């Protein structure tokens, strides 16, 4: 009998088909499965930065409000199962095998991609497990993303910035248009703070689709800056906190509160805070060492990296030591501007047989852009050098990619527990 290892190998093998922009395959898969996406309510989340954290906050609050909540996010950090959760528990290997053993022929027939198959698996699983509501993060863009086959109860667009420009477009206007593709007719749209040009485009789409718009600004958000501890913030006179660190996480949490208030106005402030306090989202400004300020963040575009580095500048007098890895498709020239003169020492690393840039290529590109860096023999060497140089006045930042998560967690003996949150 074929086991989980076989089927995960098969699923990852679908990556050979690359990224196919369009919804035709996804609609065919849903029809074959009996349209499971229609059996539950959905909150659909797009954006460039903050999607996953916002989804995690929303799911945690709704769970505490006694909803049965599906959560679909990507990519995973360590285990594939993390992508698909119900009430914080990842999908079982047995359910993955059940789905793929029954759909492999149709996946081959329509030449489904990895993300199309994974999205179908998530929607099938949420139907199978009778969720009340699913919080669904887009994979890439929005308009033609495989997740855009759902009839959402609510749509959310987090901060939009330039990323994946080779697919979504090389201007912020083009990217905003793609993200705005998840806006549905007469369906509430919740917006994070956006650049004026982005907001104009999204509001135009919302107006055309008669979608009521809600923004965090209506909440009168005030953030209490603090890095070493929970993130506190005020909304309309009420104080909340999230264990996720950073000013940007206060904004993500505020957006999640706006979401659940709009979805179910009966959820109490106490339940909201309980949900916020229970949220777990590894790899987001996560402190990896008990004694010293060493953080890991999957920030991998110019906007998110700038956000993280600004916080380091505001909290420490000395520049951080950095360990940096980057996916090959990223715009290194654009990202280089965000990290110039930001590190006391910067070590570049990679992982063999991955989608990451090799250390030689990454270091050459950084040097071209006037950034001093040192090549580490391997990721463990890079992490060891960082750990040796960090102290209470000089922090450490590991950043640039999800792909190094497993190695980072292993080095710092962080127990991941298969992604349960």
pLDDT digits (tens, 9 = 90+) for 89-125: 999 999 999 999 999 999 999 999 999 999 999 999 9
Rounded to a whole number of angstroms, the distance between the first and last alpha carbons of the chain is 31
CA distance 168 to 176: 9
**Domain layout of the chain by residue ranges:** 4-278, 286-419
The predicted model gives 295-313 an average pLDDT of: 92
CA distance 287 to 285: 6
CA distance 353 to 309: 29
Q: What is the pLDDT of residue 220?
A: 60
Give me the phi and psi of 224, to 5 degrees please: -100, 105
Contacts of residue 310, defined as CB under 8 A and 6 or more positions apart, other chains included, come to none
Beta bridge partners of residue 235, listed in sequence order: 221, 238
Q: Which CATH architecture has domain 4-278?
A: 3-Layer(aba) Sandwich (3.40)
Q: What is the pLDDT of residue 247?
A: 85
**Angle value at C-alpha 395, between 306 and 349, nearest 5 degrees:** 70
Tokens of 203: 């509001």
Span 31-47, pLDDT tens digits: 999 999 999 999 999 99
CA distance 237 to 52: 27
Q: Do 4-278 and 286-419 come out as alike in CATH topology? A: no
The DSSP output letter for 358 is P
SS3 191: strand
Span 308-361, pLDDT tens digits: 999 899 889 999 999 999 998 888 888 999 999 999 999 999 998 888 999 999
Per CATH, domain 286-419 is 3.90.190.20: yes
Helix (H) or strand (E) holding 233: strand 231-235
**Between these two residues, 330 and 416, which has the higher pLDDT value?**
330
């Amino acid at each position: 009998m074929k086991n989980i290892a076989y089927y995960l190998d098969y699923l990852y093998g679908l990556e050979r088909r690359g990224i196919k922009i369009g919804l035709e395959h996804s609609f065919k898969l849903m029809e074959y499965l009996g349209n499971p996406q229609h059996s539950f309510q959905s909150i659909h989340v797009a954006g460039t930065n903050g999607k996953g954290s916002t989804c995690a906050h929303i799911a945690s609050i709704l769970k505490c409000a006694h909803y049965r909540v599906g959560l679909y996010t990507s990519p995973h950090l360590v285990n594939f199962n993390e992508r698909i959760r119900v009430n914080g528990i990842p999908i079982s290997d047995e359910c993955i095998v059940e789905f793929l053993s029954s759909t492999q022929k149709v996946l081959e027939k329509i030449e489904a991609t990895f993300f199309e198959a994974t999205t179908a698996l998530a929607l099938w699983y949420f139907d199978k497990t009778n969720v009340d509501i699913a919080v669904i993060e887009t994979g890439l863009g929005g308009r033609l993303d495989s997740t855009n086959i759902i009839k959402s109860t609510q749509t959310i667009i987090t901060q939009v910035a330039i990323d994946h420009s080779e697919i979504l477009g090389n201007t912020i206007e083009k990217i905003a248009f793609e993200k705005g593709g998840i806006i549905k007719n007469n369906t509430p749209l919740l917006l994070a703070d956006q650049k004026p040009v982005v907001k104009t485009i999204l509001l135009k789409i919302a107006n055309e689709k008669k979608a009521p718009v809600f923004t965090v600004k209506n909440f009168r958000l005030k953030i209490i800056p603090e890095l070493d501890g929970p993130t506190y913030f005020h909304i309309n006179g009420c104080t909340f906190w999230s264990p996720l660190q950073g000013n940007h996480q206060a904004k993500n949490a505020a957006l999640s509160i706006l979401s659940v208030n709009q979805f179910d106005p009966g959820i109490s402030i106490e339940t909201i805070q309980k949900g916020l306090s229970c949220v777990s989202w590894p790899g987001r400004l996560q402190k990896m060492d008990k004694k010293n300020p060493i953080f890991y963040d999957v920030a991998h575009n110019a906007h998110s990296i700038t956000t993280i580095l600004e916080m380091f500048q505001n909290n420490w007098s000395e520049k951080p030591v950095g360990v940096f890895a980057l996916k090959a498709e990223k715009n290194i020239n654009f990202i280089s501007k965000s990290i110039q003169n930001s590190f006391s020492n910067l070590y570049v690393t990679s992982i063999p047989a991955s989608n990451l840039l090799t250390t030689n290529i990454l270091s050459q590109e950084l040097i071209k852009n006037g950034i001093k860096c040192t090549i580490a023999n391997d990721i463990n060497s890079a992490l060891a050098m960082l750990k040796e140089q960090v102290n209470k006045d000089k922090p450490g930042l590991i950043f640039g990619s999800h792909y190094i998560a497993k190695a980072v967690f292993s080095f710092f003996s962080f127990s991941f527990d298969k992604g349960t949150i």
